[in-house]
Amino acid sequence: MTDQTIAKWDFFEATFTGPSGGNPFLDVQIEAIFQQNSRTVRVPGFYDGDGRYAVRFMPDNEGEWHFTTKSSAAELDGQTGSFNAVAPGASNHGPVHVRNTYHFGYADGSPYLPFGTTSYAWTHQPLELQAQTLATLKQTRFNKMRMGVFPKDYPFNVNEPLFDMYQRDDEGELDFDRPNPEAFRHFEQQVGALRDLGIEADIIIFHPYDRWGYSEMSEEQDYRYVQYLTARLAPFRNVWWSLANEYDFLLNTKPMTQWDRFFQIIEENDPYRHLKSIHNGDVNANYDHRKPWVSHVCIQNWDVKRTQEWRETYGKPVINDEPEYEGNIMLSWGNISAQELVHRYWITLLRGGYAGHGETFMHPDDILWWAKGGVLHGEAWKRIGFLRDLLEEDVATGLTPLARVGNWPWSRVSGASDGETIYIYLGEHQPVIWAPGLPLEPGDYEVDVIDTWNMTIEPAKVVDAPANHPTRHGAVVRQRRPDAAFAVELPGRPYLAIRCRLRR
């Protein structure tokens, strides 16, 4: 029997004192087997510095769990302990996994629609700025954060990080055989802070924007880093693994087989099977997301009308986490208008994918949200929150794009449904009357017109669908109007959507 209790999907940590001489990061192996009845789960441990070793475990079932350690060091081997996993709190839904092929859900069964933002190096900024970032996030509806483990060197990112992720040797050089536990503890603290805000941490393991040498570690060092990171972070329920940002810009030092191996190392060390993805730089350099270790498609592509193509190509959920950022910097991926980003969100979502947010507005102190956090300066985030709230009213399974309506593919207008609820996004189109995609059968529907920019929802004026005008040519008669039970009158301006749902 044990006194210690841990909520399901929180994590239990056991610590031990062991060898501190030599290089424990290289020399000492430790893991633990956690057991509930006849079920066992292997969990890697890690060295936390100063002779301190730890194993962490996130229980996915309530009840008593026991563990026994295995270690190459005698004093760490055969240690045992136990804890009691209790019911999770109301805000603890467990980790997110893929559900319904193209969508996500929490382990407790509640839906999860990713509405993420990006702040690559926010955990490397001064603590005050990090606190401000968290305070800002609390005001938004974002529920995912893309963030790197390593600091960033890039335009607008020239400051030194708060912590080195590896220890420095006597000459002041980074020793890529000795992780810096203090830095990892800080990183974990912020992952935990996100968790407490209901935000998934999409952790970017490698990236190319580097002047310190993190992108040039040896293959062996890379593998050890991935293993170390997994041992420490996998027990956080809100962790997602993003193998890289723009992995293709690192192919000159890390060939494709190495990327595959990173995925495998995570699978060997993450018993919770957190979501795993990898993000491209060049639009023509998508990783082969069909590989079995990839849980979902991460993509960088401004051409959001291709969302269905990516769904079909890879057969997995699609998150376009860089459909370009709202901002005004010189770099083209970072200067679209708020209206354009909101437009791309609606197109992406209503073609069955998910989109990501970022902000890159010039700032006198180079504090751009996309890399450093701080406060939001733009206009898109509110509309993205509005979209999330709107969809969460009804979406349970996940949106499925409307394949065809009438005579033409949905290449111009976007539309999707979830169960009996239909959404149509007209975007740059401004009809004064619309029917394609609306239900074929008459029924008791509630139909609304949504102004995606002004964030209003108003009952639509429903009218008879216009009479069909077939046009004969040769042997073929083409229907010139799509069939629908009714039509909707619209005010004839762009950026509107229609929602149609069965009255309950």
Q: Candidates 227, 253, 258, 397: give the one binding its own copies (CB under 8 A).
A: 253
Q: Candidates 431, 446, 462, 502: give the one binding its own copies (CB under 8 A).
A: 431
Number of other CB atoms surrounding residue 245 within 10 Å: 26
Residue 131 or 283 with smaller CB distance to its own copies: 283
Euclidean distance between CA atoms 211 and 174, whole angstroms: 12
- Chain residues 261-320 in contact with its own copies, contact rule CB under 8 A: 283, 302-303, 305
Instruction: Kindly state the smallest distance separating residue 52's Cβ from its own copies, in Å.
Output: 33
Residue 198 or 439 with smaller CB distance to its own copies: 439
Euclidean distance between CA atoms 310 and 289, whole angstroms: 10
Residue 389 or 483 with smaller CB distance to its own copies: 483
- List the x/- string, 388-427, binding to its own copies by CB under 8 A: --------------------x--xxx------------x-
| 447 touches 460 (CB < 8 A) | yes
43 Cβ contact partners less than 8 Å away, ≥ 6 residues apart:
31, 32, 33, 34, 55, 56, 57, 67, 231, 235, 271
| 104 touches 98 (CB < 8 A) | yes
Inter-CA distances, 301 with 97, 251, 297, 319, Å: 24, 19, 12, 10
- Chain residues 443-472 in contact with its own copies, contact rule CB under 8 A: 466, 469, 471-472
Q: Interface with its own copies includes 359 (CB under 8 A)?
A: no
Residue 21 or 474 with smaller CB distance to its own copies: 474
Residue 129 or 433 with smaller CB distance to its own copies: 433
Tell me the site size for its own copies, rule CB under 8 A.
Answer: 61
Residue 29 or 258 with smaller CB distance to its own copies: 258
Q: Candidates 339, 363, 392, 462: give the one binding its own copies (CB under 8 A).
A: 339
**Residue listed under structure tokens 């009218």:** 463
Q: Candidates 55, 96, 243, 336: give the one binding its own copies (CB under 8 A).
A: 336
Number of other CB atoms surrounding residue 357 within 10 Å: 28
Euclidean distance between CA atoms 498 and 464, whole angstroms: 16
- Please provide residue 327's backbone torsions phi and psi, each rounded to the nearest 5 degrees: 170, -165
The alpha carbon of residue 375 and the mean position of all alpha carbons in its chain are separated, in whole angstroms, by 20
- What is the sign, positive or negative, of the torsion defined by CA atoms of 230, 324, 251, 213? negative
- Chain residues 87-116 in contact with its own copies, contact rule CB under 8 A: none
| 395 touches 421 (CB < 8 A) | yes
Instruction: Kindly state the smallest distance separating residue 480's Cβ from its own copies, in Å.
Output: 5
* Piece in contact with its own copies (CB under 8 A), picked from 46-54, 113-121, 322-330, 368-376: 322-330
Q: Write the DSSP symbol of residue 250.
A: G
- Chain residues 173-202 in contact with its own copies, contact rule CB under 8 A: none
Euclidean distance between CA atoms 94 and 59, whole angstroms: 10
Q: Helix 219-233 to helix 181-196 angle, to the nearest 10 degrees?
A: 40
Strands (E), 18-72: 30-36, 39-47, 52-57, 63-71
Q: Candidates 211, 290, 404, 461: give the one binding its own copies (CB under 8 A).
A: 211
Residue 139 or 218 with smaller CB distance to its own copies: 218
Structure tokens at 245: 């940002």
Instruction: Kindly state the smallest distance separating residue 157's Cβ from its own copies, in Å.
Output: 9
| 116 touches 331 (CB < 8 A) | no
Q: Interface with its own copies includes 328 (CB under 8 A)?
A: yes
Residue 132 or 157 with smaller CB distance to its own copies: 157
Instruction: Kindly state the smallest distance separating residue 477's Cβ from its own copies, in Å.
Output: 10
Residue 42 or 493 with smaller CB distance to its own copies: 493
Enumerate long-range contacts of 471-477, CB under 8 Å, 24 or more apart.
none
Residue 154 or 223 with smaller CB distance to its own copies: 154
Residue 107 or 413 with smaller CB distance to its own copies: 413
- What is the sign, positive or negative, of the torsion defined by CA atoms of 404, 314, 321, 211? negative
- Chain residues 224-243 in contact with its own copies, contact rule CB under 8 A: none
Q: Candidates 77, 177, 210, 260: give the one binding its own copies (CB under 8 A).
A: 210
- List the x/- string, 139-178, binding to its own copies by CB under 8 A: --------------xxx--x--------------------
Q: Candidates 33, 193, 197, 329: give the one binding its own copies (CB under 8 A).
A: 329
Residue 18 or 208 with smaller CB distance to its own copies: 208
Euclidean distance between CA atoms 495 and 504, whole angstroms: 28
| 497 touches 450 (CB < 8 A) | yes
Instruction: Kindly state the smallest distance separating residue 249's Cβ from its own copies, in Å.
Output: 6
Q: Interface with its own copies includes 322 (CB under 8 A)?
A: no
Instruction: From 159, 154, 148, select the one nearest 125 (Cα to Cα).
Output: 159
Q: Helix 380-392 to helix 338-349 angle, to the nearest 10 degrees?
A: 20
Number of other CB atoms surrounding residue 33 within 10 Å: 16
Footprint on this chain of its own copies (rule: CB under 8 A): 153-155, 158, 208-211, 215-216, 249-250, 252-254, 283, 302-303, 305, 324, 328-333, 335-337, 339-340, 362, 408, 411-413, 426, 428-436, 466, 469, 471-476, 478, 480-481, 487, 492-494
